[in-house]
């Protein structure tokens, strides 16, 4: 409790409410409202309807959504497996190797995604590593970017894990594989669920690296949305963004459930 007078409290909360409204709620609400709007010339949107969502969920736009979902789930799954593997193995590694792993895995967070995309475009455009022009270069780009977050989420959770569980299992004669599958991974499950949710959400909204590498046959939803705004179809772009938000939130909630069930166990 910092403010004891009720006047000070009220003043602080009013300013807080205004900031939250302007910074967090207004942008989200605006995009959803613009997706619903037929036109928006006054202070409020007019001709509300679901027609734009019909367009956003059919034809080309639906295909982009499907591409985005496939990319996000494949990239998220690969990143989660690799990230968990690296985090678990780095825990047992000598100090210098752990620091090296940590630095290399965090590299995609530090450098701009456009540079990652440019690098992949240059490096994977020749035999024997020919991925340019296929869907795999998009999936690879997403995996690389999401991997950093998966690794960092799992290693943070691993650090908070009480080593006593693992030691107890080991002292009772459990093999390393058994300790991993019966003790460490179940304890990590909430963190893995949260990491998977974050991975899917970040991949769904990724633009910088995708725009550098995507082929015309594998257009993700953010790329399609950018194309719409570029052509001046901002209302349709808003409807597409609303669909993107809804699907992302659904994925976050669904994968967050893993966390809820594991906590009860």
Partner 1 sequence: MTALLESPEAPAARTRRPAAWLWVLPPLLVVLLTVLYPLLRVLAESWTGDSWTQVLASTLFRDALWRTVTIAAASTAGALVLGTFLAIVLAFVPFRGSTVIGRLIDTVLALPSFLITLAFTFLYGSAGAVNAALSALTGDPAPLLDFLYTPAGVIAAEVTFFTPFVVRPLLAAFSLIPRAHLDVAASLGASPWTVLRRVVMPEAWPALAAGGSLVLLLTLNEFGIVLFTGAKGVITLPVLIYTRGIVTFDLPGAAVIATVQVALSLLLYAGYRVAFARMTTRRGSGDAAVEQPR
Site for partner 1, residues 94 to 153, rule: CB under 8 A: 94, 97, 100-101, 104-116, 118-124, 140, 143-144, 147
- Give yes or no for residue 93 binding partner 1 (CB under 8 A): yes
Task: Tell which positions 35-74 bind partner 1, by CB under 8 A.
Answer: 40-45
As a dihedral over the C-alpha atoms of residue 138, residue 144, residue 147, residue 149, rounded to 10 degrees, the angle is -90
Among the listed ranges 51-59, 77-85, 181-189, the one in contact with partner 1 (CB under 8 A) is 77-85
Is the backbone peptide bond immediately before 193 cis, with ω within 30 degrees of 0? no
The b-or-e profile of 89-128 (16+ CB within 10 A means b, else e) is: ebeeeeeeeeeebeeebeebeeeebeebbebbbeebeeee
String of contacts with partner 1 for each residue 199-238, x by CB under 8 A: --xx-xxxxx--xx---------x--xx--xx---x--xx
3-state secondary structure of 73: helix
Q: Provide the minimum distance between the beta carbon of 85 and partner 1 in the complex, in angstroms, as a whole number.
A: 5
The C-alpha atoms of residue 118 and residue 1 are separated, in whole angstroms, by: 50
74 or 121, CB closer to partner 1?
121
Q: How far is CA 41 from CA 25, 37, 168, in A?
A: 21, 10, 67
- Give yes or no for residue 92 binding partner 1 (CB under 8 A): yes
59 or 110, CB closer to partner 1?
110
Q: Provide the minimum distance between the beta carbon of 71 and partner 1 in the complex, in angstroms, as a whole number.
A: 14
């Amino acid at each position: 409790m910092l403010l004891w007078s009720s006047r000070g409290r009220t003043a602080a909360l009013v300013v807080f409410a205004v900031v939250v409204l302007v910074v967090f709620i207004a942008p989200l609400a605006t995009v959803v409202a613009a997706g619903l709007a037929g036109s928006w010339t006054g202070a409020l949107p007019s001709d509300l309807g679901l027609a734009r969502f019909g367009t956003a969920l059919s034809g080309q736009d639906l295909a982009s959504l499907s591409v985005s979902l496939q990319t996000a789930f494949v990239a998220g799954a690969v990143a989660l497996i690799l990230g968990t593997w690296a985090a678990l193995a780095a825990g047992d590694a000598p100090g210098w190797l752990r620091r090296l792993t940590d630095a290399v895995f965090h590299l995609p967070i530090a450098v701009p995604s456009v540079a990652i995309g440019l690098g992949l475009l240059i490096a994977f455009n020749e035999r024997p590593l020919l991925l340019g022009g296929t869907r795999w270069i998009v999936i690879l780009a997403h995996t690389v970017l999401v991997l950093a977050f998966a690794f960092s989420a799992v290693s943070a959770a691993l650090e908070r894990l009480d080593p006593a569980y693992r030691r107890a299992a080991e002292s009772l004669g459990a093999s390393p594989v058994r300790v991993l599958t019966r003790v460490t991974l179940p304890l990590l499950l909430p963190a893995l669920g949260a990491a998977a949710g974050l991975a899917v959400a970040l991949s769904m909204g990724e633009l910088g690296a995708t725009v550098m590498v995507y082929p015309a046959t594998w257009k993700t939803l953010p790329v399609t949305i950018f194309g719409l705004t570029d052509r001046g179809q901002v209302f349709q772009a808003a409807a597409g963004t609303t669909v993107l938000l809804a699907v992302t939130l659904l994925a976050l909630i669904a994968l967050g459930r893993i966390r809820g069930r594991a906590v009860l166990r």
